[in-house]
Amino acid sequence: MDDDNSLRFIEFLSEARCLSHSGSHLLDHLQGTYRILQAWMVPEAVAIAGLIHSVYSTQFFRDGLFTIDERDDIRAVFGPDAERLAFYFCFLDRTKLWSEVVPRTATGRRECERHDLCGSLSVDFDDIRSLAAIECANFVEQSYHDDRSPALWMSDAIEQQRTFSDLIGNAVLRKIERLDQDCEIQALDIYNQCIYNQTPDLTLLLDCISLNPHIPELYYFAACELDRRDDAMEASNFRAKALSLRRMWGRAWDRRVEFEM
Residues 6 or more apart from 201 whose CB is under 8 A from it?
194, 225
Please write the tens of the pLDDT for every residue from 103-122: 676 678 899 999 988 899 99
Identify the three-state secondary structure at position 215. Answer: coil
**CA pair distance 105, 102, nearest whole angstrom:** 6
CA 15 vs CA 4, 34, 61, 141: distances in Å: 19, 17, 15, 20
In this prediction, residue 62 carries a pLDDT of 74
Domain-embedded: residue 20: yes
**CA pair distance 14, 192, nearest whole angstrom:** 36
Q: First CA to last CA across the chain, in angstroms?
A: 19
Do 88 and 205 share a domain, yes or no? no
Domain termination site, one of 120, 142, 164: 142
In this prediction, residue 1 carries a pLDDT of 60
In this prediction, residue 17 carries a pLDDT of 75
Percent of the chain with pLDDT over 90: 66
Do 126 and 215 share a domain, yes or no? no
Residue-averaged pLDDT of the chain = 89
Q: Where are the beta strands (DSSP E) in 94-213?
A: 109-113, 120-124
| Residue 197 pLDDT class (50, 70, 90 cuts) | low
> Which residues span the domain enclosing 108?
3-142
**CA pair distance 219, 231, nearest whole angstrom:** 14
